[in-house]
Amino acid sequence: MTPKPKPQKPQLSSIRETFLPDLNPDGSPQVFVRCDMSQIEDRIGKMYCATPRMIELANRHPTIYDAHTENAKAIFKKSTIDKQERYLGKKAVHASWRGMRGDKLSESVSKDTDGKLFVPAGKCQDMIDIFLDTNWEIRDIYMPWVRKQVREVGILYNSFGRRLDVQGRRVDDDLYRAAYSFYPQADCADWCNQFGFLPGSVYMQARYNKPLTAQVHDEVIASVPIMESWDFARFITDALEQTKEIPRRSGNYLKVPAGITIGRSWGDLKSVEFKLLPGRDGYFEQLKSAGFELY
């Protein structure tokens, strides 16, 4: 008997291609304007380290500094990296911030890639160790401070006043990992809610009498007519690119850059990305050059 082929797991990008924007009254399609916060969790974590070096790195613009690329270069000790190495470097950084060990990172990579990419636990641990040696502030400042909040305070507060009450919970590695994640994740969520979702919702209701399409982690998405897409992109980037004191009462301030992606679907493989939003004329020239119909 010939064995049946194993069903292929749908790729996230292909699933997202099925999500389409609304139609205009004349039946022509609108576009998705996706505005995402550039590496916001990593930036916020650096701010909690509070050293001059980390604060300076946290405020660098992605047009001059890509943290994921530079971290991967350091981890693999190479001057240039490929997409797979950048992905692995990003995963190692994520694991490092959360106190993850090499075996868990190895499992996470395998799960992410549906078993197509395997990195031994020892190699994963080496990646984590190299990153934490290079960014010692995470290991020697941030993590001890978080553990102290858990042991001595019992209630964690982020920069927006959100709280995580850990009183009465068993203090172990799992709790510490949850606490390490709390500050960057909670600040990211509150930043996007208060500076993205709320003003973006008001804009969409006032102008189109409909809500935002979605908010996904560090990104807000809206369906708008293509000739009005620059107006929304300008509005939402201005709203999101606030200057916020991180942590609260620290006297240190962070401005997170916002990038714009224009697509015919959520997962449009021919979308146009702007790390820095150009003026209106330059914006539409780039869309036209990429094959978008302007109507």
User: Average of pLDDT values for 113-119?
Assistant: 93
If we measure between CA atoms, which residue out of 165, 161, 100, 157 comes closest to residue 128?
100
Q: For residues 202 and 198, give the distance between their C-alpha atoms in angstroms, rounded to a whole number.
A: 6
| Residue scoring higher pLDDT (13 or 121) | 121
The pLDDT score that the predictor gives to residue 15 is 79
Q: With 80 as the cut, is the pLDDT of residue 287 above it?
A: yes
Q: With 50 as the cut, is the pLDDT of residue 5 above it?
A: no
User: Average of pLDDT values for 10-17?
Assistant: 63
Q: With 60 as the cut, is the pLDDT of residue 6 above it?
A: no
The pLDDT score that the predictor gives to residue 3 is 45
If we measure between CA atoms, which residue out of 62, 61, 80, 63 comes closest to residue 72?
80
Tokens at 247, concatenated: 């942590």
| Residue 163 and residue 155 in contact, taking contact as beta carbons nearer than 8 Å | yes
Q: For residue 13, what pLDDT band results from cuts at 50, 70 and 90? A: low
Q: For residues 90 and 99, give the distance between their C-alpha atoms in angstroms, rounded to a whole number.
A: 15
Q: For residues 291 and 268, give the distance between their C-alpha atoms in angstroms, rounded to a whole number.
A: 13
Whether omega for the bond prior to residue 247 falls within 30 degrees of 0, making it cis, is: yes
The pLDDT score that the predictor gives to residue 17 is 80
pLDDT tens digits, one per residue of 208-242:
999 999 999 899 999 999 999 999 999 999 999 99
The pLDDT score that the predictor gives to residue 8 is 45
pLDDT tens digits, one per residue of 147-183:
999 999 999 999 999 999 999 999 999 999 999 999 9
Q: For residue 2, what pLDDT band results from cuts at 50, 70 and 90? A: very low
Tokens at 53, concatenated: 């070096």
Q: For residue 72, what pLDDT band results from cuts at 50, 70 and 90? A: very high
